[in-house]
Amino acid sequence: MKTLVTTIFLFGAAIAMAQQSDLQPPLRDLAARHDLLIGCCVNTGAFRQAAAGDEPRFAALLAEQMSILTAENAMKPKALVPRRGAYDWSVADAMFDFAERHGMQVRFHTGLWHRAVPDWLEGDDVADAERARFVEQHIQRVGQRYADRMTYWDVVNEPIDPKQPDGLRETIWKQALGDDYLHKIYRWAHEAAPDVKLVVNDYGIWNGGRKTDAMYELVKGMLDAGVPVHAVGFQVHLLGGEYPDPDRFEQTLRRFTALGLEVHVTEMDVAISKYDDDLSPEQKLQRQAEVYRRILEGGLRVDGFTVFQTWGLTDRWTWVDNFIDADDAPLLFDEQYQPKPAYFAVREVLAETAAD
Ligand code: G3I
């Protein structure tokens, strides 16, 4: 599977790349002027179709415009270990091959999460000891296999719950490994992949507040305990019509860079279905563009802001349409891979501030 996918894909992308788009210089070159990696998550279905030559524009646009990729689902435990003890690395390996072929970095998402748990580990009959054994072995396997290929690793995704006394979400992993489970897991990850930057990634922390405070306490506690952590991932899913304040976002990021951490926007998308109905479709896309502009402007003011990723490449492959039953058009490129006002806003910010 892997060899076939890789061969077809690389060949397909090479052809597609021959027809360079007129979006020049590409976002990745503009972002590089800020020491910023720009990218998106890669949908498994789109990747497979591109590999089969059915979606050459997907491969071409991804390789041309982006400098970092994340698997939307292919590197989650549910996808990698569908059956007890049986790993399927094929799609993950093919995505690493594609990234390396096109000079792109890879952010590994994710080591562990309370969702996308393999079915065979979910049942009430599964003992904590078996889950604990799985975690240590899985982190070691992923780390050792990709130690030289991944730049960043979302080792544990979404661990924060500000309603809990210790600020941590109650999960089967916490139950199996104890309250200091994150310290254990990040130490295992660092042992397996000492040169990879380890990230704690969560949603709803971009705008300050209790959840941001809980994330701050978590990573400060990890650093104080000598636990290896190098960055905080701010997912920035803006699905409720939010209109962010770049100054507030900047101040939020600075709390974490003051600890010596990098800060990343890891999963940005901006749904338009919650915008005022009396806005025209064009006005909604303009507002969406302003939202992207404000987050990116806020981030670029901060030393240590090193990654900006959207959660999908084009609207054709967004998860949001399954999550909110609406046509939310949340990304930079539309269903026909055409750049939207949001793309031009991102481009302008990268080009403007690069000139300063
Ligand atoms: O692959 C199976 C398919 O075989 C099956 O027929 C189908 C119907 O059950 O499900 C398919 O798996 C789905 C998978 O996406 C691939 O499409 C899962 O049900 C579905 O739950 C999964 O949703 C993903 C979700 O994470 C849960 O893993 C979304 O695509 C993905 O965009 C979303 O991404 C998360 C980040 O990882 C973490 N941050 C939040 C973000 C949005 O929820």
Residue 27: half-sphere exposure toward Cβ, Cα within 13 Å = 30
Q: How far is CA 152 from CA 45, 110, 135, 148, 189, in A?
A: 23, 10, 19, 11, 11
**Contacts of residue 163, Cβ cutoff 8 Å, sequence gap at least 6:** none
Report how far residue 126's alpha carbon sits from residue 94's, in angstroms, rounded to the nearest whole number.
32
pLDDT band at 17 (very low <50, low <70, confident <90, very high): low
Tens-digit pLDDT profile for residues 138-179 = 999 999 999 999 999 999 999 999 999 999 999 999 999 999
pLDDT band at 22 (very low <50, low <70, confident <90, very high): confident
Higher pLDDT among residues 323 and 285, named by residue: 285
pLDDT band at 204 (very low <50, low <70, confident <90, very high): very high
What's the Rg (C-alpha) of the chain? 20
201 lines ligand 1 (CB under 6 A): no
Report how far residue 18's alpha carbon sits from residue 102's, in angstroms, rounded to the nearest whole number.
13
Q: Does the annotation count 282 as an active-site position?
A: no
To which H or E segment does residue 286 belong? helix 281-300
pLDDT mean across residues, the chain: 94
DSSP 260: T
Side chain identity at 201, as an amino acid letter? N
119 lines ligand 1 (CB under 6 A): no
Ligand 1 atom having least distance to the Cα of 319: 32
Q: Does the annotation count 242 as an active-site position?
A: no
Report how far residue 262's alpha carbon sits from residue 274's, in angstroms, rounded to the nearest whole number.
32
Q: Using an 8 Å Cβ cutoff, are 349 and 328 in contact?
A: no
pLDDT at residue 10 in the model: 59
8 lines ligand 1 (CB under 6 A): no
Tell me, in angstroms, the distance from the centre of ligand 1 to residue 352's CA. 36
Tens-digit pLDDT profile for residues 90-133 = 999 999 999 999 999 999 999 999 999 999 999 899 999 999 99
Q: Whose CA is nearest to atom 24 of ligand 1?
A: 73
The average pLDDT across 27-45 equals 98
* DSSP secondary structure, 155-210, as one string: EEE--B-TTSTTSB---HHHHHH-TTHHHHHHHHHHHH-TTSEEEEEESS-TT-SH
Q: What percent of the chain has pLDDT over 70?
A: 94
| Across 214-228, 249-263, 293-307, 313-327, least confident range | 313-327
Q: Using an 8 Å Cβ cutoff, are 47 and 91 in contact?
A: yes
Tens-digit pLDDT profile for residues 259-283 = 999 999 999 999 999 999 999 999 9
Q: Considering 55, 64, 72, 158, which one is annotated as catalytic?
A: 158
The average pLDDT across 183-212 equals 98
Report how far residue 315's alpha carbon sits from residue 304's, in angstroms, rounded to the nearest whole number.
29
DSSP 311: S
115 lines ligand 1 (CB under 6 A): yes
Burial of 143 (0-12, 13-18, 19+ CB in 10 A): buried
Q: Which of 270, 315, 319 to mutate to test the pocket of ligand 1 (most atoms within 8 A of CB)?
A: 319
| Per-residue pLDDT at 3 exceeds 70 | no
The average pLDDT across 191-219 equals 98
pLDDT at residue 192 in the model: 98
**Contacts of residue 25, Cβ cutoff 8 Å, sequence gap at least 6:** none
pLDDT band at 6 (very low <50, low <70, confident <90, very high): low
pLDDT at residue 9 in the model: 56
Helix or strand or coil: residue 345? helix
Single pTM value for the model: 0.95
Q: What percent of the chain has pLDDT over 90?
A: 89
CA end-to-end span of the chain, whole Å? 48
336-340 LR contacts (CB < 8 Å, sep 24+): 337/57, 337/58, 337/61, 339/23, 340/285, 340/288, 340/289
The average pLDDT across 6-14 equals 55
**Contacts of residue 332, Cβ cutoff 8 Å, sequence gap at least 6:** 292, 310, 313, 314, 339, 340, 342, 343, 346
Q: How far is CA 139 from the centre of its chain?
A: 18
pLDDT band at 16 (very low <50, low <70, confident <90, very high): low
